[in-house]
Amino acid sequence: MEQNEFLEKLQGIVNFSGLNKLDLLNIVKCSYLRSCRKEMSLYYQGEPAETVYLIIIGTLKIVKYRADESSLILEKTGPGEWIGLSEVIANGPYLTDAVTEEQCEMLCFSKNNFKLLLKIPLFQNKITEYLARHYYTLHANLESRTPLQKIVRFFRARIESFETRDITTGNLIIEITQEALAESIGYTRETTNKHLKELEDKKVIRLLRGKIEIINSEELNRFII
């Protein structure tokens, strides 16, 4: 992408609104464009944070791995959003994984170059505003429920609505894939599948192709807190 194309992209991003052309040119000079394929990890939780990313095209998911070995999708983020910003400013490791959901393009800033840009007063103000807004939004969206509790609550909500019953057993059938369920509750497929298997082992559900059969709805209630 040519320099003029860079400037055009930057001028359309709220983070850079109000900056003059010279400041925008300095931002372009301090960055490089990176194209990433679908399902590519930009960085992993615990790695030293050496790069800040600004998404130009595409979406990513930010995944947090927890002490209980579950993994939570903290957010999905798209054009105009920063990735790895807090960690680079704090000189700490990355606190999450960042994984592309589609073909993406982003501006990349080394730690040293990004800190040079923070000397531009207006840019520094915009980054401060972004961090405050992002912190508020992220924490407003967090829930204290465990993955298992969220799965069970999802099942209860579907049970209370109209669902199909197996003509032989009379058991309720929820037509949803495990991937779609993971998407609905905001956890990774691996974490969701782990807890679905737990429920299946306890004879509460049966996992079918594209469906989940509720075998024991009374026992399901025991998991709701």
146-190 pLDDT, tens digit each = 888 888 888 887 776 655 666 677 788 888 899 888 888 888 888
3-state secondary structure of 65: strand
With 90 as the cut, is the pLDDT of residue 201 above it? yes
Percent of the chain residues topping a pLDDT of 90:
38
Burial label for 149, CB within 10 Å (0-12, 13-18, 19+), is: middle
Please report the sign of the dihedral spanned by the C-alpha atoms of residue 175, residue 177, residue 183, residue 188.
positive
Structure confidence at residue 6 as a pLDDT band (50, 70, 90): low
Question: What is the DSSP secondary structure assignment for residue 14, as one 8-state letter?
Answer: G
CB within 8 Å of 161: residues ≥ 6 apart: none
Which residue has better confidence, 199 or 24? 199
H helices present in the chain, as ranges: 3-11, 21-29, 85-90, 111-117, 121-141, 147-160, 178-185, 189-201, 217-221
Q: Which of 18-32, 36-50, 209-223 has the highest mean pLDDT?
A: 36-50
Q: Give the per-residue pLDDT at 143.
A: 63
Mean pLDDT, residues 35-47 taken together: 95
Percent of the chain residues topping a pLDDT of 70:
87
Q: Give the per-residue pLDDT at 2.
A: 56
Q: Give the per-residue pLDDT at 3.
A: 58
Mean pLDDT, residues 3-18 taken together: 67
73, 114 Cβ separation under 8 angstroms: no
3-state secondary structure of 60: strand
Tens digit of pLDDT for each residue in 71-96? 778 888 999 899 999 999 999 999 99
- Stated as kind and residue range, the H or E segment containing 71 is strand 71-77
Q: Give the per-residue pLDDT at 74.
A: 83
User: Which domains are seen in the chain, by residue range?
Assistant: 3-141 (2.60.120.10), 147-221 (1.10.10.10)
Which residue has better confidence, 221 or 5? 221
Name the residue type at position 107.
Answer: L
Full 3-state SS string of 117-139:
HCCCHHHHHHHHHHHHHHHHHHH
Q: Is 0.85 topped by the overall pTM?
A: no
Structure confidence at residue 58 as a pLDDT band (50, 70, 90): very high
Distance (Å, rounded) from C-alpha 170 to C-alpha 166?
5
